[in-house]
């Protein structure tokens, strides 16, 4: 065969057959970056012999799944943030799962009431303060950040980022919409600069002295502490970590989840269930802490020793689905106060 | 200036089916856009009221300021540099001639990352200033904030001006020297009386691309938190779980851009230029005295330095900082896949935009021309929104297919298109059709009508005229469009991310997984590769332009 024909056949092959599934595969739509999920998938394939195929995108995968309908090749959906999981369920894109293992491993406030999605790891929204310039005894609750004392001293990521929107939703759930909006307005008036940057950048700003207080996801603290860049390690050294709302009568720190579900038109359901069960099991649950400083969703697994070292927070126990339901209300408040 | 083609045009339309080709192609290209309109036609649940009361004005003002700011700077940089290198001889001119194209290879959002690190409070620039002047903290001096509207204008201008530069330069080179000579005889300014009016379609085509790129940009404005309409679209879609209202905003922005384009086309319609003399474009460049020559060199150096050299140096120094284990085998696979998809995509774009632009221009009536124009506006949508239009469109086709297939084969629930690389290629064509079409269209408008008229009178068939007359004259425009499309596809992120098949990575998506976490060290090596691979088409184009010696 001439080389031209070979090339042509290869192209035809890629175009028309690359999407077809063969035996022992599972196809994943993932909102998590490949470099974070690959370590899990490698172990999974090694243990089960099931090959994994991944499409990663931060946005729009739910719309893709919806548009593809019954032609979709997807089996498993992996996301970060409860809001995204909720959208899949809202669009009826998830299959109710009947798995004893999953129901055993994942507590009920971290899963869908319809068994369509399961939380797989937890992250906490925490306060970081400058070791030098802030007396930690003055900040016990997330509500304290509205005190006029902190005027011009807080840095923040834009309010409409999923993490802040979820935090806002948790405050609405706890205190009601009106009080939550008052809090947000006061919080915004305390900002040292226009909301910008990601969680990492907030810690950097404290290090630089642009502000003294910020809100971040707990795992960013670990990522900075163990960064390859010695400078980022320095940033982490300049801040204290405060878990908010830890008082005896208080609700606990706001948590969010990463999670997964099975696509409603999945053609490899058994493999898909196997993958989710694997992710909720001991090996994976330990990996979440090791790779990304996240807390295991499975209560039988204890968090990594590094996480234990920072202190294990008391968690806000409201059903996680409430956070998703209040998301749009939270966004409206964020728009109104200009966070 | 002769303009008898119109009369001839109408006569030919009646007895050929040529016009069917651009019509059908445009219909396919317009399909996803129509799907987006359908998505937008639902109930927005009163969200506009909320937006109007809170953030809408801010979104609109920021978007306009960004567009105006970037437009002014790219016109000065792009047209200025193109005029200098095509009309004057100065130190380093030949080098700048192609160096000036290079920033096109740099994705704006990556340059934004690199520059933030460089210019912010903790970055080397301010550190040096502080050490030098003995300042202690941010309150003691003023330094422009890079994460701002101004910062976004700065970054976007220096990576986007090549769109204007490349098209303007091609046009300046093609302008007949006889016109310049006449202008000189009458002691008129050659730039304002000849160069600019003749290159206007090309410059506007470039500027339109820039404006569409600006209005659809997400990466840079998100990073700098400049609250534009596109940022708003995502807040509404993902934040309020309201895709209907989000696509409505996208469509408002889209209509705005289209309106601008039509105003320009209308105002241009009254002015027709074509050269009725024998083409003599081999202009002699004007030799400049030393001082002026230096000024020209500096003018050309600035955009090359800020849009290309500095970002490369910054990324390079970041890539040295990391010990992250690069999977070289994986990375080389990614490079090959990127080149392959960009190659297939840009060739498809060139073929489709040639067919639509040329046939519509010579054969089409006003309707077909407007329709082909309209079908090349996918560029004005934010990538992710357009991707949703594509998904809906492909979904419809696949469902239709499985319906028919089920009728024939029984239970058949697998689409032919969903999840394949064809989805991605269609997306690229819909989005970057504007790049090829704009370039080719501006090339076609510069062809003297009398050449075509003469060919018709000799009884030559249309396809022969295209092959022997039109095609050779617009070769450079085709290549310029193909080059821009290639580079654009290589850089393209949001659509590739969402529409790709399983396990398929381009350099842009590979870079993004790190960049998303602001892990600039890990992101910088693949980012450098995007830029380096982008050099390949630039070099080809440069070599080609020299060979044909316009």
Q: How many CB atoms lie within 10 A of CB A224?
A: 24
- Chain B residues with CB under 8 Å of A228 CB are 321-324, 521
Q: Where in the sequence is the domain holding B399, given as residue range(s)?
A: 1-38+328-550
Q: Where in the sequence is the domain holding A47, given as residue range(s)?
A: 22-122+255-310
Question: Quick one: B162 and B190 in the same domain?
Answer: yes
The gap from C-alpha B537 to its chain's centroid, in whole angstroms, comes to 15
Question: Quick one: B303 and B390 in the same domain?
Answer: no
Question: Quick one: A283 and A207 in the same domain?
Answer: no
H or E segment and range at residue B244: helix B243-269
Minimal C-alpha gap between A211 and chain B (Å) = 11
In a domain, A101, yes or no: yes
Q: What does the DSSP 8-state code read for residue A94?
A: B
Cβ-nearest to A70 among B394, B413, B420: B413
Question: Quick one: A230 and A130 in the same domain?
Answer: yes
Question: Quick one: A168 and A271 in the same domain?
Answer: no
**Predicted confidence pLDDT, tens digits, chain B (550 residues):** 344 454 444 444 444 577 888 888 888 999 999 998 888 888 777 788 888 888 888 899 999 999 999 999 999 999 999 999 988 888 888 888 888 988 988 888 889 988 988 888 878 888 888 888 888 777 778 888 888 899 999 999 999 999 899 888 888 887 777 777 777 778 777 788 777 888 888 888 889 889 888 988 888 898 888 989 888 888 888 777 788 888 888 888 888 878 877 777 776 665 555 554 445 555 678 888 888 889 999 999 999 999 999 999 999 988 887 666 677 888 889 999 999 999 999 999 999 999 888 888 887 777 888 888 888 888 888 888 898 899 999 988 888 888 887 777 766 556 678 888 999 999 999 999 988 888 888 888 878 878 888 888 888 887 888 888 888 888 888 888 888 899 889 988 888 988 999 989 999 988 888 887 777 788 888 889 988 888 887 777 777 766 554 4
Does the pTM exceed 0.90?
A: no
Own/partner long-range contacts of A233-238 (Cβ < 8 Å, ≥24 apart): A234/A207, A235/A203, A235/A204, A235/A206, A235/A207, A236/A203, A237/A131, A238/A130, A238/A131, A238/A132, A238/A203, A238/A206, A238/A207
Question: Quick one: A299 and A281 in the same domain?
Answer: yes
- Count of all residues that appear for chain A in the document: 339
Q: Verify whether the Cβ–Cβ distance B395 to A204 is below 8 Å.
A: no
CATH at residue B500: 1.10.3720.10
Q: Verify whether the Cβ–Cβ distance B138 to A209 is below 8 Å.
A: yes
Question: Quick one: B10 and B107 in the same domain?
Answer: no
| pLDDT at residue A166 in the model | 94
Minimal C-alpha gap between A62 and chain B (Å) = 10
Question: Quick one: B301 and B393 in the same domain?
Answer: no
What number of C-beta contacts closer than 8 Å exist between A and B?
154
| pLDDT at residue B171 in the model | 83
Question: Quick one: B426 and B516 in the same domain?
Answer: yes
Q: Verify whether the Cβ–Cβ distance A58 to B516 is below 8 Å.
A: yes
Cβ-nearest to A196 among B138, B147, B494: B147
Question: Quick one: A153 and A220 in the same domain?
Answer: yes
Question: Quick one: B9 and B52 in the same domain?
Answer: no
In a domain, B278, yes or no: no
Whether the Cβ atoms of residue B28 and residue B374 lie closer than 8 Å to each other: no
| pLDDT at residue B2 in the model | 41
In a domain, A178, yes or no: yes
CATH at residue A220: 3.40.190.10
Quote the CA–CA distance of A42 and A29 in Å, as a whole number. 16
In a domain, A2, yes or no: no
Q: Which residues of B432-471 are buried (b: 16+ CB within 10 A; e: fewer)?
A: bbbbbbbbbbbbbbbbbbbbbbebbeeebebeebbeebbe
Question: Quick one: B415 and B344 in the same domain?
Answer: yes
Question: Quick one: B86 and B203 in the same domain?
Answer: yes
Q: Verify whether the Cβ–Cβ distance B243 to A229 is below 8 Å.
A: no
Question: Quick one: B7 and B53 in the same domain?
Answer: no
Q: How many domains does chain B fold into?
A: 2
In terms of DSSP bridges, do strands A213-217 and A154-155 run parallel, antiparallel, or are they unpaired?
parallel
Q: Which residues contact B132 (CB under 8 A, 6 or more apart)?
A: none
| pLDDT at residue B141 in the model | 82
Residues of chain A with pLDDT under 70: 1-23
| pLDDT at residue A98 in the model | 92
Q: How many domains does chain A fold into?
A: 2
| pLDDT at residue B15 in the model | 44
Question: Quick one: A215 and A150 in the same domain?
Answer: yes
- Count of all residues that appear for chain B in the document: 550
Short-list B151, B145, B164, CA closest to B71: B164
Question: Quick one: A190 and A127 in the same domain?
Answer: yes
């Amino acid at each position: 065969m001439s080389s031209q024909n070979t090339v042509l056949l290869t192209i035809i092959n890629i175009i028309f057959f690359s999407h077809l599934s063969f035996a022992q595969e599972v196809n994943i739509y993932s909102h998590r970056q490949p470099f974070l999920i690959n370590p899990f998938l490698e172990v999974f394939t090694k243990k089960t012999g099931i090959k994994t195929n991944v499409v990663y995108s931060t946005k729009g995968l739910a719309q893709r799944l919806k548009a593809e309908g019954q032609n979709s090749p997807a089996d498993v959906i992996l996301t970060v943030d409860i809001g995204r999981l909720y959208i899949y369920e809202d669009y009826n894109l998830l299959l109710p799962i009947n798995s004893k293992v999953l129901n055993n491993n994942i507590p009920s406030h971290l899963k869908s009431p319809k068994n369509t999605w399961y939380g797989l790891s937890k992250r906490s929204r925490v306060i970081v303060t400058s070791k030098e310039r802030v007396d930690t005894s003055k900040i016990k609750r997330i509500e304290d950040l509205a005190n006029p004392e902190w005027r011009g001293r807080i840095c923040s990521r834009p309010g409409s980022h999923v993490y802040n929107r979820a935090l806002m939703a948790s405050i609405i759930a706890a205190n009601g919409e009106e009080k939550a909006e008052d809090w947000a307005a006061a919080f915004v008036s305390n900002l040292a600069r226009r909301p910008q940057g990601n969680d990492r950048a907030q810690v950097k700003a404290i290090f630089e002295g642009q502000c003294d207080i910020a809100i971040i996801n707990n795992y960013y603290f670990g990522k900075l502490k163990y960064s390859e860049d010695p400078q980022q390690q320095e940033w982490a050294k300049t801040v204290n970590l405060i878990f908010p709302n830890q008082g005896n009568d208080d609700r606990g720190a706001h948590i969010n989840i990463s999670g997964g579900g099975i696509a409603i038109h999945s053609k490899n359901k058994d493999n898909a269930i196997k993958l989710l069960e694997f992710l909720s099991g001991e090996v994976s649950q330990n990996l979440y802490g090791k790779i990304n400083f996240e807390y295991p969703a499975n209560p039988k697994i204890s968090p990594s020793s590094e996480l234990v070292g920072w202190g294990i927070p008391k968690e806000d126990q409201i059903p996680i689905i409430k956070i998703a339901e209040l998301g749009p209300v939270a966004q409206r408040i964020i728009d109104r106060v200009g966070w | 200036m002769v303009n008898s083609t119109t009369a001839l045009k109408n006569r030919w339309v009646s007895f050929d089916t040529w016009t069917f080709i651009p019509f059908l192609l445009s219909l396919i290209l317009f399909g996803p856009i129509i799907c987006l309109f359908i998505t937008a036609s639902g109930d927005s649940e009163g969200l506009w009221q909320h937006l109007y009361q809170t953030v809408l004005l801010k979104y609109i003002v920021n978007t306009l300021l960004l567009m105006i700011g970037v437009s002014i700077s790219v016109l000065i940089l792009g047209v200025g540099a193109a005029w200098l290198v095509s009309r004057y001889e100065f130190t380093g001119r030949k080098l700048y001639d192609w160096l000036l194209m290079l920033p096109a290879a740099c994705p704006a959002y990556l340059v934004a990352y690199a520059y933030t690190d460089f210019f912010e409070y903790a970055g080397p620039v301010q550190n040096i200033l502080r050490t030098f002047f003995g300042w202690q903290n941010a309150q003691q001096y003023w330094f422009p904030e890079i994460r701002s509207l101004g910062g976004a204008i700065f970054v976007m201008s220096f990576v986007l001006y090549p769109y204007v530069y490349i098209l303007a330069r091609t046009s300046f080179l093609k302008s007949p020297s006889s016109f310049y000579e006449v202008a000189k005889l009458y002691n008129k300014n050659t730039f304002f009386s000849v160069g600019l009016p003749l290159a206007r379609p090309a410059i506007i085509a470039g500027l339109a691309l820039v404006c569409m790129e600006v209005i659809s940009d997400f990466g840079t404005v998100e990073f700098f938190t400049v609250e534009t309409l596109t940022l708003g679209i995502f807040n509404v879609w993902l934040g309020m779980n309201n895709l209907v209202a989000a696509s409505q905003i996208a469509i408002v922005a889209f209509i705005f851009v289209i309106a601008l384009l039509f105003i320009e086309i209308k105002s241009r319609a009254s002015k027709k230029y074509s050269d009725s003399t024998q083409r003599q474009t081999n202009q002699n460049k004007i030799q400049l005295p030393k001082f002026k020559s230096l000024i020209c060199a500096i003018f050309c150096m600035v955009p090359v330095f800020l849009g290309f050299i500095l970002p490369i140096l910054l990324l390079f120094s970041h890539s040295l900082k990391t010990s992250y284990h690069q999977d070289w085998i994986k990375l080389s696979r990614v490079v090959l896949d990127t080149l392959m998809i960009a190659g297939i995509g840009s060739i498809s774009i060139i073929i489709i935009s040639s067919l639509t632009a040329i046939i519509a221009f010579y054969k089409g009536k006003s309707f077909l021309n407007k329709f082909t124009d309209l079908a090349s506006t996918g560029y004005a949508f934010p990538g992710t929104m357009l991707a949703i239009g594509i998904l809906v469109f492909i979904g419809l086709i696949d469902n239709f297919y499985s319906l028919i297939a089920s009728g024939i084969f029984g239970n058949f629930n697998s689409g032919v298109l969903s999840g394949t690389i064809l989805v991605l290629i269609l997306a690229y064509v819909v989005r970057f059709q504007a790049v090829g079409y704009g370039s080719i269209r501006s090339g076609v408008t510069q062809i003297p009508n009398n050449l075509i008229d003469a060919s018709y009178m000799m009884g030559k068939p249309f396809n022969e005229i295209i092959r022997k007359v039109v095609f050779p004259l617009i070769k450079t425009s085709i290549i310029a469009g193909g080059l821009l499309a290639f580079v654009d596809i290589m850089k393209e992120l949001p659509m590739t991310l969402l529409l790709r098949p399983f396990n398929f990575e381009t350099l842009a998506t590979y870079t993004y997984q790190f960049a998303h976490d602001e892990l600039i060290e890990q992101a910088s090596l693949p980012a450098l590769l995007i830029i380096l691979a982008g050099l390949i088409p630039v070099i080809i184009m440069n070599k080609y332009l020299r060979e044909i010696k316009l």
